[in-house]
Amino acid sequence: MHLPISPWRYNTEHARALYLADSEDGVRREMAAGEGTLYLIRFRPPIHSLRIADFTGYPADHFLTAVFSKAEDCNVAGRGPSNYIFSQVVAELVAARFDGMRVPGVRGGPGALYGNVVIFNRIDYWTDWLEPGATPYALTEESRLLGDFAHDHIAVAAHFIWEKEGRPHGRDLAHWFAAIDALRRARTP
């Protein structure tokens, strides 16, 4: 299996990257311009062994927030340049030291809180990262109405897991995905 090698926001046409969203709502917002039925599959990347730069927690007035805000505006009509050159340069700089990065999702209006993870390195193993028993499924109107978990609910659950583990440093992403898993298990009858 090969990933498509078309240029996206954070990779050039000659470089492969794996783009993941942390919720169905994030996928829906990122792919809103596409036509047809969206199919999703769940991944569990080995976040404990990957070097992921997390750019989601900086305040609005921080330099890195401004950089990624500009990168996310690339090729968005009326918001930024009509190409991905700036965002691809930013990604190249991050990829020199990290396997991937987590960036805030920006599609949609206020309250659209989700994150995207872009993996640059080690993506030859991405099929090993599929959730056990994962099969692609269509993003239907019913799943849209049910929605995924609210950002605030995930944040509270992640904070609880962080507290329970003794407040370790640098495990934010692991706690985030563990919180999503815990919320899913709690929702399943």
pLDDT given at position 2: 36
pLDDT of the residue at 187: 67
Residue 65 is classified by DSSP as H
**In a shared domain, residues 125 and 70:** yes
**CA-CA distance, 9 to 109, in Å (whole number)?**
20
Using alpha carbons, list the distances in angstroms from residue 55 to 125, 156, 157: 24, 19, 20
- Is residue 67 located within the same domain as residue 93? yes
Distance CA 106, CA 182 (A): 25
SS3 annotation, 15-57: CCCEEEECCHHHHHHHCCCCCCCCEECCECCCCCCCCEEECCC
DSSP tag of 53:
E
The confidence score (pLDDT) of residue 51 equals: 92
Q: What was the pLDDT predicted at 134?
A: 76
Distance, in Å, from the CA atom of 76 to the CA atom of 155, rounded to the nearest integer, reads: 29
For residue 7, is it within any domain? no
- Tell whether pTM > 0.85: no
Do both 159 and 117 map to the same domain? Answer: no
Count of domains observed in the chain? 2
User: d(Cα 188, Cα 20) in Å, to the nearest integer?
Assistant: 23
Question: What's the pLDDT score for residue 111?
Answer: 56
pLDDT at 144: 47
Q: Is 101 inside any structural domain? A: yes
Cα–Cα distance, 122 to 103 (Å, whole number): 19
Length of the chain: 189
Element (H, E) at 117: strand 115-119
Other C-beta atoms within 10 Å of 6: how many? 8
Q: Count CB-CB contacts under 10 A for residue 143.
A: 16
> Does residue 9 lie within any of the structural domains?
no
Three-class DSSP category at 109:
coil
Q: From first to last of the 189 residues of the chain, give the pLDDT tens digit.
A: 333 444 578 888 777 888 888 877 777 777 765 666 777 788 888 878 899 999 888 888 899 888 988 888 888 778 888 888 999 999 999 999 999 998 877 665 555 667 888 998 777 788 888 888 777 777 765 454 344 566 667 777 888 888 888 988 888 888 888 887 777 777 665
Please check whether residues 162 and 123 belong to one and the same domain. no
One domain, residues 32 and 74 = yes
Q: CB-hemisphere CA count at 13 Å for 59?
A: 2
Which pLDDT value is given to residue 145? 38
Q: Which domain holds residue 171?
A: 149-189
One domain for residues 118 and 73: yes
On whether residue 78 sits in a domain, the answer given is yes
How far apart, in Å, do the first and last CA atoms of the chain sit?
35
